[in-house]
Structure 1
């Protein structure tokens, strides 16, 4: 009894055996079978072959049939058996061959005819496209007498269609599956002449070298497609066909156009070639198109001899090494001053700030007699930062202001050599020890400071501590009139100190600044200071 057909997904009802015939050299697709579990994803494995996923054929996967495909197949998802017979041409007297390709005009009606089977009796034709029944597609069509009639063709109708006929031979219900290749085309004959995207141009060439002239042409689709593309060389008013030196690519379809590439080869460019003009001519049944190409000599850039490259490389490395060696100290100081990444041991540091300065005019006695009061002209935010400063009528040097602001107002623990270091010891050892006991060093740089050997030693020791300890901070404050460009100390400053003064960040102080300028100085200084610690009342 012939197997009954089901609609949708090209699948048939659950049967034990199915019999299919295909024509050798035609496209074929294994049918889908609905299993008892409702599975549609059928995979067929040929009997006698090793059972693995690589050799299994998925249903409705198209492939070109060969004699080796004949045989019995079993399904992975059901106990079905498929008998496939691939009929060779010499034994296919009942098959018609010349109907396997159909061209349909877009936006017009079209008919797809199933290749006939000339022997025996058969029932109506059932059409599939990929794995779907055509009769179930949402479009205007009809089927009659083995033909599929489309009311309006679109470009999406291009593809492989399968038509199935049922034929009973000696009691065996065979399904004859034939493939029809359908191509939707815009028109049968060309409507426009060829199209060459590139216009006339000039190409650069090198004398003595080969050169290729390439012409890319697009032709309208034609059923009888016979493109004509050729290169010609114009010299002295004469035209010479370059066919002997041409190569043409096989035409291939790009949407509704055929693309053809014709290349002419100049084996060796000479001065005579620069005087010629080259023309690409393309033609079809509608008209022709041409472009011209001229050749221009390429100016070669002369590079230095490769022999000198190793020497240049060695010199560059040497110069880079010397530069890096000279600037290494500056790089270290800049890095250390901007990126304090070490973790301070708070309990090991006795002082927050080691303040270093040299008294300048007015004298210390005048500074000591100055009074401190509210600074007029400061904003409320500034007064919160330093609510009590020097009376504006007193010219108090920064050396007197800093201890008062840092210690009395902001609450930092200050180290002053004249106050916190026991007299009678070795000065150098006392300085180094005081720096080690402090989290930060502030140097008030004045003309007197840079000419004082003891003060310069403090600054030099601070720079060394900065290079050795990543958590140590060093701040330089320049007072009015102090500058290394105007001061020539005798003896000259140590190289380490000169470099530090040149690259380390600093603050500028001028007692004559207006209230807001003075406020900016104190605000900047506060940002550079270390985070304040909480001290026990007993300390």
Structure 2
């Protein structure tokens, strides 16, 4: 009897059996068929592995007897495709980096193809000396079977509490079968100790991060002051040779409350404290002129149009709406004037198309009553940021101190 392994061993497998009545049991198999007293397997496959039984029937003195014999077939690898040992680990891609005192564990994994009557050997050497001759190392071995009698052998070398000298040695795994011998060296390195100045580096990095966070917070809180400081010291005066007669034209609703806010509050700070030249129609226009023509002329002569928004401002047919439309049209077409929106009072609903467009496109500076009266407050800083850059030369008082801002409460 014989055995063969899939298509790797042989294309034909012949069973020599002493039987004559096997044909009826193997009908319908294309690759396995009887030929006289023999069973022919044309192509050996792994699924054909198992037990094959031959049955012989004969009669003696009128009685029928059956004789059987069973043959077990094992499918193994073809010797034509057998290879020398194949190393999975160690290899050049894996580095074993340890500190002194750690356990050094080195697995050697080798794949062997099936070879009949071939020995498979795996062993470790340390600096060229076989570990069987070294007493202070531990070697364990395990075997993993594969298909067709192939197998993987894992031989693990362990050096307990490796010293710096142990981590500098040469660890090489060898393997051998009838096809040849091979070896693979494990790359072992001592882990570089962290530098002593790690704490200093961590402190420096932490201080840098803290400084960045502080600067971000300072910028977020004081960005207005920083921008105004830069404008005051490094900005170019926009009012020099600009061809404009006025810095700001003020547009507001003509009633007692808004007039008081414009003439006392806005004018008092912008002209007296910031040095801007304001154009207020009711104050600067000549009597007897045409309102529309004079309004458009004043807007043409100004760098900014400051609009004081309130519910009275959006009433249809007022001069204030004429000023707003003229300013927006000039800003959109010629671009020689910029519109500034100051919300004096909240406008709940408005059907004025130009005002809706302006509120959607422009920043609105909100007046908050008593909170906004102090000239160094946020309202005035936001407003000054929208106004032209203008250099203001202040004369020192007799005692050498800077003149203080006039409190609006005293106006």
State the TM bucket, normalised to the shorter chain.
0.3 to 0.5
After TM superposition, the score normalised by the length of structure 2 is 0.46
Answer 1 or 2: which has greater helix percent: 2
After TM superposition, the score normalised by the length of structure 1 is 0.37
